[in-house]
Amino acid sequence: MIVNYNELKLTKEELENMDRTSPYQVVGAFVRLLTTYQPNKEEEFYDLLQTLQGDFQPLSALMKQNIKDRMLQNDKYSYIGKSYFKGATPSNDYTPSIPYELEITENDYSDVEEGIKKLFVKSGGADSPRGIMVRLAKDGNYYVWSDSFMGLLADIRGLESNNPWA
């Protein structure tokens, strides 16, 4: 499924008012959230992530540290989120096409168990799509499940403008 956005910026109000009955919309919101991470504004990022995970899955200090470590590694925070949008590749320093489009897919194993769905997003800097799970709560809404999103923070190819060999 293709999910379209007019802008990458994501607000708490937008998260609180989004359609959470679609697992694709929740995954799309998470990827957009990745583009907002700033080392000097981490708590704002964690607050938005908490909204996507729901209050019944509080973010631990360890989880916050793991996210910070991954995002700061090789200054990945500046491009990891954008790398998932169509048109973004290492050769254009992960500059996505406009309108911003995410291709979110599933496979034969996406229905992990009842109420839990694993979806995949392709990064222009990775060879295979990265998975993230969402879980359907009693309120009829999907939430990012546990730490299943950490795979989306794994390393990808660096910016070509920073590569002395390219």
What mean pLDDT value characterizes the chain? 95
Confidence class of residue 112 from pLDDT cuts 50, 70 and 90?
confident
What is this structure's pTM? 0.95
**pLDDT digits over 8-59, tens only?**
999 999 999 999 999 999 999 999 999 999 999 999 999 999 999 999 999 9
> 133 pairs with which residues across the strands?
118
**pLDDT digits over 117-130, tens only?**
999 999 999 999 99
Residue 164 predicted with pLDDT over 80: no
Cβ proximity of 88 and 82 under 8 Å: yes
- Distance from chain centroid for Cα 85: 10
